[in-house]
Structure 1
Amino acid sequence: MVSATVVNVSAQANAIPMLNGTNFKVWKKNVEIVLGCMDLDLVLRTERPTAITENPNTDKIEKWDRSNCMSLMIMKRSIPEAFRGSITESTNAKKFLKEIEQYKTESAHLASTSRNKNKMRDKDTAKGTPKQKKVKK
């Protein structure tokens, strides 16, 4: 029974493609599906329960903490090491996912801006130097 569970976890985690510069939406959707199928998406759907004197919520807190820990491990497994160094180390899976999304959005914006600048430069180079206006004497 235990080995079947390990095989299932591994198969589910392998269903998530390695994150690269072009597949964030596909990667995120696969992460959400896999975590949902594994019943680990609690961390993405709810905030961590708080313990109060009247109701310690021990079971709920333990379940949320497990969901968080496993979710982080599964996500980090499908992110290249070099890319992980660019993102703030988070201890909350939901925040980690948002940080990746923000980083990818900023990277895409920077890449787009850089491409546009290169196109403009190439266009200017193709035209040659701008003609100077003739000054009447």
Structure 2
Amino acid sequence: MMFLVIAVISTSIISTSLLPNESSHIPFLNDDNFLDWKDQILLTLGCMDLDLALRVDEPPEPTNESFAAKKNAYDKWERSNRLSLMLIKSHISQSIRGSISLSDKVKNYMRAIEKKFVSSDKALASNLMNKLSGMKHNNSKSA
């Protein structure tokens, strides 16, 4: 029981010390906050130095003959990719998460999320334009 309390406290200290301030709280992604959510995700990943997998393409997987520097670069990229995916997925509501195609690469997963929200924004705009164009003005004056 003592171990659990220490683990919770240390996790809390680590997570709050890595984030710049309380304004960097990441909201859950829902149907109407994609841009804010994306900004907060990118800020948080950048502050935590976990955005490498979003900025750099995956390096070739090291072999037994690879130099230590190449192995280290791949390990850093793989860690960034894995932790970024975990953070992103943990801040998406279940109803949306199920509609996004799965990927083991954070860059591809973010593209899939963006594609879903860009297409849903276009559909919403089209729907609103159709409603607006179908409306009739009745010449009455409003007070």
Query: Per the shorter chain, which TM-score range?
Result: 0.7 to 0.9
Deviation at 1:9, TM superposition (A): 5.3
Count matched residues.
124
TM-score with structure 1 length normalisation? 0.77
Deviation at 1:76, TM superposition (A): 0.8
User: Structure 1, unaligned stretches of length 5 or more?
Assistant: 128-137
Q: Distance in 2 between matches of 1:83 and 1:17?
A: 14
Whether 2:78 is the aligned partner of 1:65: answer: yes
Identity %: 32
Instruction: Mark the structure with the bigger radius of gyration.
Output: 1
Deviation at 1:21, TM superposition (A): 2.2
Deviation at 1:122, TM superposition (A): 3.2
Q: How does 1:7-86 map to 2 (within 5 A)?
A: 7-8=12-13, 10-11=15-16, 12=19, 15-50=25-60, 51=62, 53-55=65-67, 57-86=70-99
Question: Any idea what SS the aligned residue of 1:107 has?
Answer: helix
User: Structure 2, unaligned stretches of length 5 or more?
Assistant: 1-5, 139-143
TM-score with structure 2 length normalisation? 0.74
Q: Distance in 1 between matches of 2:7 and 2:74?
A: 24
Q: Deviations over 1:69-91 (max 9, x none)?
A: 11011111111111111111011
- Look up the equivalent residue of 1:45 and give its one-letter code: R
Deviation at 1:20, TM superposition (A): 2.0
- Look up the equivalent residue of 2:67 and give its one-letter code: N
Whether 2:121 is the aligned partner of 1:108: answer: yes
CA RMSD of aligned residues (A): 2.4
Q: Deviations over 1:9-64 (max 9, x none)?
A: 5545x811111222212111111111111111111111111136453622221221
